[in-house]
């Protein structure tokens, strides 16, 4: 379960990094998403090395990504609330899998 959580965390972080790199505009929302991704990758790396579960790092990364996407929606004046609810559910599932593992 721990390996599955780490793999999903890395895939999610890479997907979000790809989304930031694809976006031409570099602003505070892109920076928050990138910082959140770095937190997720740090969590994955630390989970492979240390036996302690550092879930707080993962939660901070998810908060950074969510805040960045919400700011991006506000900036574009098109906040899709369903998108953010689905993102919250997916991020909660990822965190739960990492915590259980």
32-56 per-position pLDDT tens digit: 999 999 999 999 999 889 888 789 9
Q: Which of 12, 10, 11, 60 lies closest to 35 in space, CA to CA?
A: 60
Q: Tell me the average pLDDT of the chain.
A: 90
Report how far residue 46's alpha carbon sits from residue 37's, in angstroms, rounded to the nearest whole number.
Answer: 14
pLDDT digits (tens, 9 = 90+) for 61-89: 999 999 999 998 898 888 889 988 999 99
Report how far residue 16's alpha carbon sits from residue 61's, in angstroms, rounded to the nearest whole number.
Answer: 11
Residue 26's pLDDT band (boundaries 50, 70, 90)? confident
Report how far residue 58's alpha carbon sits from residue 67's, in angstroms, rounded to the nearest whole number.
Answer: 14
């Amino acid at each position: 379960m721990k390996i599955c959580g780490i793999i999903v965390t890395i895939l999610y972080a890479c997907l979000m990094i790809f989304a930031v790199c694809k976006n031409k505009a570099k602003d505070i929302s892109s920076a928050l998403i990138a910082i959140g991704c770095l937190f997720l990758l740090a969590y994955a790396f630390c989970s492979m090395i240390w036996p302690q579960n550092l879930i707080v790092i993962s939660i901070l990364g998810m908060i950074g990504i969510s805040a960045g996407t919400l700011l991006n929606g506000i900036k574009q004046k098109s906040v899709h609330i369903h998108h953010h609810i689905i993102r919250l559910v997916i991020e909660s599932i990822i965190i739960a899998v990492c915590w259980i593992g």
